[in-house]
Amino acid sequence: MAEHDSAGWVNPCPAAGESRMFLVGLSGGIASGKSMVVAVFRELGCAVIDADVIARQVVQPHFLAYQQIVHYFGTEILLESGEINREALGNIIFSHPKKRQVLNSITHPEIQKEMLKQIFKYFVLGYRYVILDIPLLFETNKLTKFMKHTILVYCDPQTQLSRLMKRNGLSQSEAEARIASQLPLDEKRKLATHVIDNSGDWESTRRHVLKLHGQLEDSLDFLLVRLAAVTALAGIGGAVCFLLRHFVS
């Protein structure tokens, strides 16, 4: 029977075979070019779950997280429309680490629930692997144990600084402060199983993405036949356990 860990993720049932859908965690740093790399994976037809998009969804009115956030931070963080003013909330948590922790404790369980729903959908559709685009994958270090592979979109520090200054119109000190709020890319690359270096020209980066996608696609057998077989042999209850085992492998 599946169990839940302290982070709310489902732990796998005992292994019954080697062929399984797996999860790939993808992260980067501010201005490292992660969004461009994700766009290539999407062009290739990969399943990508964007944690940022889900994070924006779960704080919409009528969601539990929205109610908890307003209760803690007050109605002054709301826009006239009733939606949360993300810029105002961001300014609060940027300078108050404890309040950032409170916000994370509210939103992360809801984000993880929605991610698990989407993983289930892609499993049923027969995808070989699912990419989880998580900006703070290596900072939190709580979800990496569920990933068979982790990918870091890297660029050298000087390139990161100049890109951020140009993209956001920031001074050097402002850009350095934004970068310093994250774990350095050189530290993250030590934690990743794959590193896509986006310091140079874009065509080189694109070729690296294409090569990595090919490696991931070739790393296991297709899945739908096994899913049908397990459903037929073990019944609905056994199939559910089988599915859950694959979600976090």
pLDDT tens per residue across span 32-71: 999 999 999 999 999 999 999 999 999 999 899 999 999 9
Whether 41 and 66 share a structural domain: no
Residue 211: pLDDT band by 50, 70, 90 thresholds?
very high
* Residue at 247 is within a domain: no
The pLDDT of residue 9 is: 47
- The chain-wide mean pLDDT, for the chain, equals 84
At 2 the pLDDT is 37
Q: Give how many domains the chain has, as a whole number.
A: 2
**Angle 189-190-191 from CA coordinates, rounded to 5°:** 90
Domain extent for 113: 52-126
Task: Answer yes or no: is pLDDT of 222 > 50.
Answer: no
Together in a domain, 140 and 89: no
Specify whether 114 is located in the same domain as 210: no
Give the strand order in the sheet containing 149-154: 47-50, 129-133, 22-27, 149-154, 194-197
Q: Do 41 and 132 share a domain, yes or no?
A: yes
- Answer whether residue 165 shows pLDDT above 50: yes
Is the pTM higher than 0.85? The answer reads no
Q: In Å, how far from its chain's centre is CA 25?
A: 6
Q: What is the pLDDT of residue 221?
A: 39
249 in any annotated domain: no
Considering the chain, what percentage of its residues have pLDDT values greater than 90?
Answer: 68
Q: Is residue 144 part of a domain?
A: yes
